[in-house]
Amino acid sequence: MTSRVVITGLGVAAPNGVGIPQFTEAIKNGKSGIQHQEQLENLQFSCQIAGKPTLSPELISSCFTDLELKNFNSSGILYGVIAGMEAWKDAGLPLDIKEEPDWDSGTIFGTGTSGIDKFREAIYKIDLLQARRLGSNVITQTMASGISAYLGGKLGLGNQVTTNSSACTTGAESILLAYERIKAGQALRMLAGSTSDSGPYIWAGFDAMKVCTFKNNNQPEKGSRPMSATASGLVPGSGAGALLLESLESAIARGAYIYAEILGGHVNSGGQRGSGSMTSPNNLAVQKCIKAALKNAGVKAEELDAINGHLTATVMDSTEIHNWAAALDRSGKTFPYINSLKGMTGHCLTAAGSIECIASVLQIDQGFLFPNINCEDLHPEIVKIIDPEKIPTQYLPYEVNLLAKASFGFGDVNACLILKKYKS
């Protein structure tokens, strides 16, 4: 018998809110976390704005020991551990230290890079013939699986502890991988999520590709404009999101609060064929991914209430809307409501999918749709496909029963999952 899989814990470190209460308030009110970054201006970046979580020393100290923080220089691990531990505690799971690990709980926590600033620090020391002064924590902060290893140790996880990496698809993919492990009966609980480092060494490549906006350096909150006719490129962001996935039987036995249920999903690749390339999606693959996700979840396209899109504020936004309309065979007034979180957070790269999944779950749990900001001038190609009323620009109370969340990443990779309001 396969298990139903539910979400019982949430944790987030986002540019517009650290912790679920602050983040929830921010998305309901359309609050942006994008700010001018003096460091990027000094480095002569074209895009001098970004989304970056604000962490208090007290919060950091509550998750890390003084010894761990000595010579610590990995913002991604910092964000991921804070989000992961919040999700664990939010699910009502204990943090007490036991001799034996929790064999029923594991984590799949993704990232694109780990400790890029720590890498830079280490490279300079090696170049200065100071290799012996690197310290003992360089490897743990810079290995790709550093984030899952830190969480595994702090939470005493005895099931699978690993890291996935699939560009901007990473967060959504990690949730589906964790879902499948529980569904197969190989774990009772899995902490799923993703994180992304902050800073110029992460964001410089995107600036060099000229995919970032340069037109709103003096108006940072207006910079990220998904679905807008005046969108001029993405705004880089960072942070982490974490979700505690659990078998329904385990959640009921513990008396845990259930935010939503995961019905299924799908991941695929366009193989960089047809319209697909290293940086652009194969449209047919995107459509097939959405259709396969619905089939896997046992859901009909006409049943979807809402979509949380990838929608990055680039020229690909209208293409994404076209792909949704084609995959669902819905357009105009019959199209589901759709929103993008990136207007408030920027594009949080490998953390985007998990942070946006949390926003999706909150909408289902609390019955609302968060507003799309900075798209008062909708792109004309988008308006040709769907009714503007389906793109809410104000907080909208709305009972969301079924929601599709998709993420698309460099390498022509796609992920789509289907979330449902929990009903016993």
Local mean pLDDT, 10-residue blocks, the chain (424 residues): 88 98 98 97 96 97 92 92 98 91 98 76 60 67 90 97 97 98 97 96 92 96 98 97 98 98 98 95 97 98 98 96 98 98 98 98 98 97 98 98 97 98 92
pLDDT at 330: 98
pLDDT at 243: 99
Residue 68 corresponds to which tokens in the numbers above?
């761990």
The CATH number of the domain covering residues in 5-260 = 3.40.47.10
Give the separation between CA 155 and CA 93, rounded to whole angstroms.
10
Q: Residue 217, exposed/middle/buried by CB under 10 A (0-12, 13-18, 19+)?
A: middle
pTM for this predicted structure: 0.96
Using DSSP, state whether 401 is helix, strand or coil. Answer: coil
pLDDT at 137: 73
Topology agreement, domain 5-260 and domain 264-420:
yes
Q: What residues are paired with 404 via a beta bridge?
A: 307, 418
CATH 3.40.47.10 is held by the domain 264-420: yes
Domain boundaries, the chain: 5-260, 264-420
pLDDT at 125: 61
Q: Residue 320, exposed/middle/buried by CB under 10 A (0-12, 13-18, 19+)?
A: buried
pLDDT at 217: 97
